[in-house]
A = this chain, B = another copy of it.
């Protein structure tokens, strides 16, 4: 039995296998439609997240399994003071696999130590969200065909954005990656990631505040939300916010095959006019999220198709 708590729980080979399975599911959905018959997924969402929850549920349903769970903590026993350990021991009697979202960092890890069934971390506070990273990787792979030798722009809030941190961790295991870190100074990538990941592994990277200047070189552009409350003062926010809103105008010098990603939900950081551009991949990305979760559920349940 295995869990997925952190993206680094998976080896590069395991990630490659998950991506291969996801691609096979996309090509041959009929082959998988009864793969999890009589299996049950519990979605234990101690904080709400529609997109993530529904993608897990759709994944299990398309594998022929079924779903139960809760979508917010006040419908759960947690409000009666039950520990996460006890909750998963009990839910493990009712389901074959658990996807858990929790506001507290580490909760899914604790859960995995007591659960009789596999635990998938569906996001724990600002910490980890490994199935988002798998989604990002599958999308890059489907759009580019490979991970090596890509110039990857990461734009917006690089300080608090956990999806960015995880993606850097994951891509740093491939070769020839050049990271372009695009953010206001206040929201730049934390130094522990620069030192412990990028420099330790000898990764190529550059930092800039100017999205348009670096646009022509990018193969991937990963956008994130710049939240007003992250800024120290309103003046900085107003001065900077528009620089990190992607528009068709800012894309005019971009590569023809640039791949634009966003973990969603978006507020206004990508203009809706970009949506119909062939380089906009963020809705494809949401779709891919379902397929990689199908692959992950199969792997953790040990189901061979």
Contact = CB atoms under 8 A, between A and B. Distances in A.
A290 B93 CA distance: 8
A82 B262 CA distance: 13
A61 B40 contact: yes
Contacts of A253: none
A66 interface: yes
Interface stretch (A69-77, A178-186, A209-217): A69-77
Contacts of A38: 33, 62
A283 interface: yes
Given A71-B70, A94-B57, A283-B90, A81 B265 contact: yes
Contact of A51 (B67, B77, B286): B77
A286 B51 CA distance: 31
Interface in A42-74: 42, 48-51, 54-55, 57-58, 61-62, 66-72, 74
A204 interface: no
Nearest to A90: B286
A95 interface: yes
Given A267-B81, A290-B94, A58 B48 contact: no
Contacts of A79: 48
A91 interface: yes
A61 B33 CA distance: 17
Interface in A87-123: 87, 89-91, 93-95
A272 interface: yes
A76 B93 CA distance: 28
A81 B294 CA distance: 28
A234 interface: no
A9 interface: no
A271 interface: no
A266 interface: yes
A264 B90 contact: yes
5 A-B pairs with the lowest CB-CB distances in the bound complex, closest first: A58-B94, A82-B265, A93-B287, A50-B76, A71-B75
7 contacts: A40-B58, A51-B90, A55-B94, A66-B66, A67-B68, A80-B267, A94-B290
